[in-house]
Amino acid sequence: MAVNLRNGVSMPLIGFGTFRIKGREAILRCLEAALKSGYRLIDSAAIYHNEEDIGSALEELLPKFNLQRTDLFLTSKLSPRNQGYQPCIDSVKRSLGLMKTSYLDLYLIHWPGTGGKKVDNVVNIQMRQESWKALEDCYDKGLIKAIGVSNYCLKHLEEMKSYARTFPHVLQVEHHPHYVQPELVEYCAHHKIHYQAYSSLGTTVDGNCNPLLNNEVVKEIAKNHNKSPAQILLRWATQQGIGVLPKSLDPVHIEENISLDFLLDEKEINRLNTLDTRCKYAWDPSIVI
């Protein structure tokens, strides 16, 4: 499954997320399982501190699977502490070097705020504007095939209309049945911005429980399809054209998460939509000016 971005770039709908996966051996093991299972999009970020290990692993794994760099879609993101024109340029080049590639398929501003600045400081507006100008310039030079933002709210996107030469190709945000953002989804569809979700499976709370994976509605639908709750949550998104980035250290789950060749009916999708409790499991970007 793939989508064509507004500029014609083809992007897999299902990617492999690498948040909190660190260390050469762990990255190598996970990426080997991911490539074997059919993943071709690998999502990283400067603050994940794993770009170098990803680059080294791919150098070893691509020949093993008879793949070329052009078969992959590599994403990275700007650290909030590197907001600003020149720091952003330097960060893009650093990511290219660490990941051992001459271009990135997608690069995102990770957060609308700036590291070390209070969320209500107007400097945040200036800094993310400068960062976007830097990404536009990198895009024009072919260093990045598509550019976008992560954790931007409607207000941040609307603000971009005052300065962006190229509007974002991708928006990556938290999205799952406990936190559905219909207005943002509609906005992206209207502006031809691909909407990509993170935290599609929720997260563990209170030490050992994942409220979303253990939801009775999710489990019932999973049982009816003979699928895992994770597969139901991922299919709920992809069936609506929303990109997903599941991550796992378990090769069985890695393969399972990309095996989404089944359909939910309209009633099932609506039942999952009604689970919305406005419950965020990640950070809240709406507090950033």
Helix (H) or strand (E) segment spanning residue 130? helix 123-140
Annotated binding-site ranges: 110
Q: Above 80 in pLDDT, residue 97?
A: yes
CA distances, 283 to each of 5, 102, 108, 161 (Å):
27, 32, 17, 25
Query: Mind listing the pLDDT tens digit for each residue in 187-201?
Result: 999 999 999 999 999
* Residue 209 pLDDT grade (very low, low, confident, very high; cuts 50, 70, 90): confident
CATH superfamily assigned to domain 2-202+241-247 = NADP-dependent oxidoreductase domain (3.20.20.100)
Query: Mind listing the pLDDT tens digit for each residue in 112-146?
Result: 999 999 999 999 999 999 999 999 999 999 999 99
* Residue 208 pLDDT grade (very low, low, confident, very high; cuts 50, 70, 90): confident
Indicate the residue type of 37.
S
Among candidate residues 186, 169, 154, the one with its CA nearest the CA of residue 109: 169
pLDDT given for residue 281 in this prediction: 92
Do the beta carbons of residue 42 and residue 73 sit within 8 Å? yes
- Would the pTM count as exceeding 0.95? yes
Among candidate residues 255, 197, 256, 198, the one with its CA nearest the CA of residue 230: 256
Query: Mind listing the pLDDT tens digit for each residue in 137-194?
Result: 999 999 999 999 999 999 999 999 999 999 999 999 999 999 999 999 999 999 999 9
Buried b (16+ CB within 10 A) or exposed e, 25-51: ebbbbbbbbbbebebbbbbbbbbbebb
* Residue 8 pLDDT grade (very low, low, confident, very high; cuts 50, 70, 90): very high
Report, as an integer, the average pLDDT of 25-49: 98
Report, as an integer, the average pLDDT of 39-45: 98
The DSSP call for residue 82 is G
pLDDT given for residue 205 in this prediction: 76
Positions annotated as catalytic residues are 48
Query: 287 CB contacts (<8 Å, ≥6 apart)?
Result: 119
Helix (H) or strand (E) segment spanning residue 53? helix 51-64
Annotated binding-site ranges for substrate: 110
Report the mean per-residue pLDDT for the chain: 97
